[in-house]
Structure 1
């Protein structure tokens, strides 16, 4: 049995340094077009900012996330909203939702079939599913640089990698196989400027990719990060700021049966 590696989410750091995640989620939220009084399930809600936006628009959100620290932060920020620690591959609710929403979360959830089954089980017939997440080619340069430098330590980065970055064909086919009609699907580049100036790439890796460094000494980690920066600087660093080579999928689908 292969060893499982998971990200150690740092909720306060996430809020302080990665506010762009929720900001970019507004496009998927607009695609969902939540209406007053609708019940909406937010899968991978993080620290709750988009669930709060759903509530501001008059919907009744329920946010779920597998990270205890993220849910604790969400409850602290938005005490009047409904949040729960839950595994998106197994979550089930006795009530049906009018919509399911997910931003920057589905690429963390495997197997993807289980997540789609959760979405299907949550929706009423005719309900809609709107999501944005990492697609094929997402952060390819960052992933390649980290893998190459970890290889010098005898670490197989791919064996530790929890991400799922499908092609648009893969994901829409998966949805259709589970009774969804895909009304809209996009696969697009979205280069994303990181906060933190010179240290921006390190902060990003520490927030989103710390699982690669499990069991690595502080000295070796520092060496790897320095080498990763050297590799990436010609492509992803300009005028004092780092850019992450994001590629996203955005979809809208309706449950037909």
Structure 2
């Protein structure tokens, strides 16, 4: 994760645990073995890092957020975590695999060549890169509504997240020296915690960059209007739940 968002690790774990829960099936693709050395890039609060370590692999989790790394250390004191920027990270040794779940979309698209260079340099000669992050069209209903409501109030907002297609990202991987063995872009509608306030809480956790120059009271009016726009498409009245229109890009690439 990057420093553009103001991360609250307690809220992240308590109200948005689906992020790492949905990432657990990624471990089948990673296929960690005892003795493997694996770097978890964008480890958050360390839950998937711990799951990887449970297989007998040696793990190191890195995240740009000091708050997330601190929480990971507290939850898993026997594991190694570092605060680090994936765009300019030089680990002490090499890794058999680099793993990343729900982190790469926080890094601007212009910086991904630097990230891929970091990953390539960190891997052994036959190392593998297994990752999933937001793909083309991810949460489009939500971002379109946010941008429209902010524009109506005179705020110019650049979309802060990077959601590429397979056709866009596979060539970047190949240019960095990887062979793409598997790639999939798929819809993954995601039920948000929090009931009627779930969408507002989701934006509160992940959407700080949309509101950098917006006063607190104006922010609440924007969120009210966004909820009104999206209630018909993303809210289930009977269960009082919001469902975010997630789309994910998942890939396995070898060096």
TM-score tier (shorter): over 0.9
Q: Does 1:137 align with 2:137?
A: yes
State the distance in 2 between where 1:112 and 1:28 align: 21
1:62 paired with 2:60, answer yes
- The equivalent of 2:148 in structure 1 is 148
Q: CA deviation at 1:23?
A: 0.8
Query: 1: distance between equivalents of 2:148 and 2:157?
Result: 8
**Aligned ranges for residues 3-82 of structure 1 at < 5 Å?**
6-82=4-80
Whole-Å separation in 1 of the counterparts to 2:224 and 2:253: 42
Deviations along 1:220-239, one digit per CA (max 9) or x if unpaired, are 11100000000011100013
What is the count of residue pairs matched by the alignment? 249
Quote the Cα distance in structure 2 between the aligned partners of 1:61 and 1:33.
Answer: 14
For residues 1-257 of structure 1, the aligned pairs below 5 Å read: 6-110=4-108, 111-158=111-158, 161-238=159-236, 239=238, 240-255=240-255
Deviation at 1:36? 0.6
* Contact 2:160–2:210 (Cα < 8 Å) also in 1: no
SS in structure 2 at match of 1:127? strand
5+ long unaligned stretches in structure 1 = none
Offset at residue 94 of structure 1 (A): 2.5
Q: Distance in 2 between matches of 1:107 and 1:27?
A: 19
TM-score (norm 2): 0.96
- Alpha-carbon separation, structure 2, partners of 1:63 and 1:216: 34
Alignment partner of 1:249: what SS? strand
Q: Deviations over 1:21-46 (max 9, x none)?
A: 11111122210100011100000000
In 1, Cα distance between equivalents of 2:204 and 2:27: 27
* Counterparts of 2:157 and 2:27, CA distance in 1: 33
CA RMSD of aligned residues (A): 1.0
Query: Aligned-pair distance for 1:250?
Result: 0.5
Check whether the contact 1:107–1:163 (CA below 8 A) recurs between aligned residues: yes
Question: Take 1:10 and 1:219, find their aligned partners in 2: how far apart are those partners?
Answer: 21
Inter-partner Cα distance in structure 1 for 2:209 and 2:153: 15
Task: Give structure 1 regions of 4+ aligned residues with deviation exceeding 4 angstroms.
Answer: none
Q: CA deviation at 1:153?
A: 2.3
* CA positional deviation for 1:157: 1.8
1 CA distance for matches of 2:47 and 2:160? 24
For structure 2, which runs of at least 5 residues remain unmatched after alignment? none
